[in-house]
Structure 1
Amino acid sequence: MDVHNKHIDYIDLINRYLTNEINGRETILLEEWVLESEENKNFFNKFKKTWALSNTVKSFDIDVNAEWNKIQNKIFSSSKETTIQNIRQKNNNFNFIFRIAAVVVLSFSLVFSAYYFINKSKYNTFVADNYVVTQKISDGSIITLNNNSKITVPKEFDKNVRKVKLKGDAFFDVKHDETKPFIIETGKIEIQVLGTSFYVKSQKNSPTIEVIVKTGKVAVRLANNPQKEIILKPDEKGIFVKNKNKLKKINNTDVNYLSWKTKFLIFKNEKLKNVVNKLNETYHTHIIITNPKINNCTITATFNNKSIGAVLNILKETLDLEIKRQKNAIYVSGNSCE
C-alpha cells in the first residue's frame, strides 16, 4: 500500500475529506484509491475511526457517527458500480464527464494535479496545481513548489551555470557546487547561490517578490541591472518592490514562512486576524472574520501537521468562536475579547 504516491499524499486527501475540504475531483481520486485494494479500504476505515475518536469536539455541526454510516453505506461500499452510481447522482453529469476525461488524461500520465511536462525542447516544466510538490532535479537540488506554482528546469545544465525559471512560490535546497552557481529567474529579478536553502515568494498579483534565507548566502539582483544587488544571510528577507523596481533587505520576523510546506505553525500571543491570514496561506482556504471586534483576540498555540478542521476546532473552543462553512468559505464570528 502506497499512501504517499509520488504526486498524491492520500493521507492528506483523507484528512481533507474528513474535514469537508475536498473537492469533487479529489473525491474521485480518493475513491478509486480506496477501491483499488482491500488493504487500502481497511486503511481508510481504521484512519476514519481513529479520526472520529480523536475529534470529540463538534465541528461544523457534523454528526460524526452519522457521517461515518453514510460513508460506509454509500461511498466506499464493496461494489464499485454502486459507488460510481452514487457519485454520478451527487455530482450530476459533470463528474461523469470528468471521469471519462480522467481516463484519457491518465493515458498521458497527467491524471494528478502535480505533474511535469516533457517536451521536445531541452527543458522540463514542473507544475503544482492543487498540491505542494517536491521534486529532485538533475544536479541533486531539491525544489518544493507551493500551490499554483511552476518551474522550468533544463534537462541538462550548462557547464558553467545552473539556471531555472520560477513562477509562483518555492523552497529551494540547492546542491553545493562552487564551479556552477545556481540562478533563479523570477519576474524582474535574479537570485544566485552556490549551495543553500531559501524560500522564494513570487506570485503574479503580489506587489512584491520576497526571498527568505534559511541557510547559506543568497544574492538577489535586478535582472536588467545586475549591479543593483543585495546579499542575504540566514533569517534575512529580501524584498523587490515591483512598481518601484527597488530591492531592500530586512530581518525576517515570520517564523511561519514555511508553514505551507511543513504544516507546522507557532503563534505567540498572536492576533486572530493574523492567525487567519496565515491559515489561509498555509491551507489555501478562504476563512473570513465576520465580526471585526474579534480581530484582536489573541492566541498562543503550536500546531504540528494538523488538519485545518482540527486547528479551527481549537480556535473555536479557546476563543469561544462560532464557525460556519458555506460553499467554499469558512466564516468566523464571536463576541469581542476586550
Structure 2
Amino acid sequence: MTEKDKLFELLVKELNSDLTEEEKNLIRKSLQNDDSFSKQYHSLKEFWNRIHPPDISHRIIDKTEKKLGFTYQNKPVKNNHFIYKIAVVVLLLISLGLSGIFFMGQQNTPTLHEYHSYSNEVNQFVLSDGTKVWLNSDSYLLTMEPFNGEFRLARLYGEAYFEVAHNPKLPFIIKTPSLKTKVLGTAFNLCSWPNNKIQEIELYEGRIKLEPEQNDINAAFLEPGQRAHFNPENKKMIISQTDADNRAAWRNGILNFYNEELFYIVLELERKFDTRILISDNEAGKLRFTAEFTDEPLEKILLLLSEAKTFNYHISNQGVLIRSVK
C-alpha cells in the first residue's frame, strides 16, 4: 500500500470521527505539505457530505441494547452502512487512478455513478456497456462510466443480480471486501453485506473467476449451477451445487432460505421490513430454517418460524426482540 493510499484510509476514518491523535497530526501535516492530497481531501469531503449527510442514530434502541446486554452475530455497533459507502467511493477512485481527475472537473473523463435501492425495494439499472443489474434492498453499486481502460470495474455493497454484457476484450470486475469477481459475459448473483462475514456467489450462466485478496488463497472458477461461500476470516471457500432455475428470487419479492441460521434470516427481514430485530442469545440465533415467503407480513413470518422451531418474540414500536425458550 502506498503512502497516498494510507492517507485516504485515514480520510475514511476521519469522516467516521474515528481518528487517533497521532493520525490527526499525520492528516494535518499532509494537508500542509501535499497540495495534491489537500485538493482531493477537501473535494472528497465536500462531495460526500453533500450527497450523503450522516444518518440519524437510533439512540433509544442503542441505549436499550447496551443496558440489556444483547448479543449479536456480526452486528457492529457503528453504522457500517454509512462507513462502507464512504470507503467504497474512496477505494474505487483510487483503484482507477481517477480521484484527482474526477474532482478537478476535467472534461471527457469517466464520472462516478452511484446506483442504489432503498429499504424494501428492488431497482433495475442498465450500465453504459449494456450490463443489466438488479439491486436488492439497501444495496449500492458504484462505477466509473463510461468504462475504459483494460477492464470494467464496479464496487458492490449489499446484494445484486448481474447479466453482464459480453466483451472478451474488457473483463467486468466486481470488488467486494477481500474478494474480486471477474467475468466476461454471464448471469450471476452476488451477496456481500458488511454485517455478514460470508460472501455468497451463485452462477447461472457463463463462467466466473473468484480471486481472494489474500495471496495464500487460491482462485476458484464457478460453472453454471454452482454456489460459492467465501469467508475471509477463516480463509475458506466452499463450492456447492444450487438451483440454477431459481434465479435471485428476491427480485420478485420472495424470501428464500435454505438451512440458514436465524442470525442470517433476521438480517434479511430487517432489510425487507425496515425494522430492527434483536436476538438476545446464541441459542436462538443458531436455529436453522429452510423456508420461502412471498407476501407474508413480518408478524406472520415470525409466527411460522417460531412454530417450526420454538423461540419467543415480542414486537414493539422500537422493533422485534427474539429470545430462546428456556
TM-score by length of 1: 0.49
Cα-to-partner distance string for 1:213-261 (whole Å, 9 max, x where unaligned): 23322111135759931001234233443345x4523215699994544
Q: Partner residue of 1:122? A: 110
- Give yes or no for contact 1:264–1:303 (8 Å, CA) kept in 2: yes
Task: Please state how far the C-alpha of 1:330 moved relative to its aligned partner.
Answer: 1.9
Q: Partner residue of 1:242? A: 232
Matched, 1:193 2:179: no
Distance 1:334 1:128 in 2: 33
Q: Which amino acid aligns with 1:128?
A: S
Q: Secondary structure at the match of 1:210?
A: strand
Q: 1:298 to 1:144 in 2, by over 3 A?
A: closer
Matched, 1:220 2:186: no
Q: Secondary structure at the match of 1:279?
A: helix
Q: Partner residue of 2:135? A: 145
How do residues 243-262 of structure 1 correspond to structure 2 at under 5 angstroms?
243=233, 246=235, 248-251=237-240, 258=248, 260-262=250-252
Q: 1:271 to 1:157 in 2, by over 3 A?
A: closer
Q: Partner residue of 1:178? A: 168
For the aligned residue pairs, the C-alpha RMSD in angstroms reads: 4.5
Q: Which of 232, 243, 246 lines up with 2:222 in the alignment?
A: 232
Distance 1:205 1:294 in 2: 18
Distance 2:182 2:194 in 1: 21
- Give yes or no for contact 2:110–2:147 (8 Å, CA) kept in 1: no
Task: Please state how far the C-alpha of 1:129 moved relative to its aligned partner.
Answer: 4.4
Which structure ranks higher in relative contact order (CA pairs < 8 Å, sequence separation ≥ 6)? Answer: 2
Q: Partner residue of 1:327? A: 317
Q: Secondary structure at the match of 2:301?
A: helix
Structure 2: runs of 5+ lacking an equivalent: 1-55, 57-101
- Give yes or no for contact 1:236–1:249 (8 Å, CA) kept in 2: no
Distance 1:182 1:213 in 2: 15
How do residues 245-324 of structure 1 correspond to structure 2 at under 5 angstroms?
246=235, 248-251=237-240, 258=248, 260-266=250-256, 279-280=269-270, 282-288=272-278, 302-312=292-302, 324=314
How do residues 49-68 of structure 1 correspond to structure 2 at under 5 angstroms?
none
Task: Please state how far the C-alpha of 1:191 moved relative to its aligned partner.
Answer: 0.9
Cα-to-partner distance string for 1:299-323 (whole Å, 9 max, x where unaligned): 8864224343453465678889875
Q: Secondary structure at the match of 2:269?
A: helix
TM-score by length of 2: 0.50
Cα-to-partner distance string for 1:273-294 (whole Å, 9 max, x where unaligned): 7765653465454345679998
Q: 1:155 to 1:296 in 2, by over 3 A?
A: closer
Worse overlay, 296-305 or 206-215: 296-305
Distance 1:208 1:294 in 2: 20
Structure 1: runs of 5+ lacking an equivalent: 1-23, 25-117
Distance 2:260 2:230 in 1: 27
* Identity among equivalent pairs (%): 25
Distance 1:183 1:126 in 2: 16
Q: Which amino acid aligns with 2:315?
A: R
Q: Which amino acid aligns with 2:110?
A: K
State which structure, 1 or 2, has the greater radius of gyration over its C-alpha atoms: 1
- Give yes or no for contact 1:262–1:305 (8 Å, CA) kept in 2: no
Q: Which amino acid aligns with 1:125?
A: E
Q: Which amino acid aligns with 1:251?
A: S
Q: 1:281 to 1:214 in 2, by over 3 A?
A: farther
Q: Secondary structure at the match of 1:311?
A: helix
Q: 1:317 to 1:150 in 2, by over 3 A?
A: closer
- Give yes or no for contact 1:232–1:249 (8 Å, CA) kept in 2: no
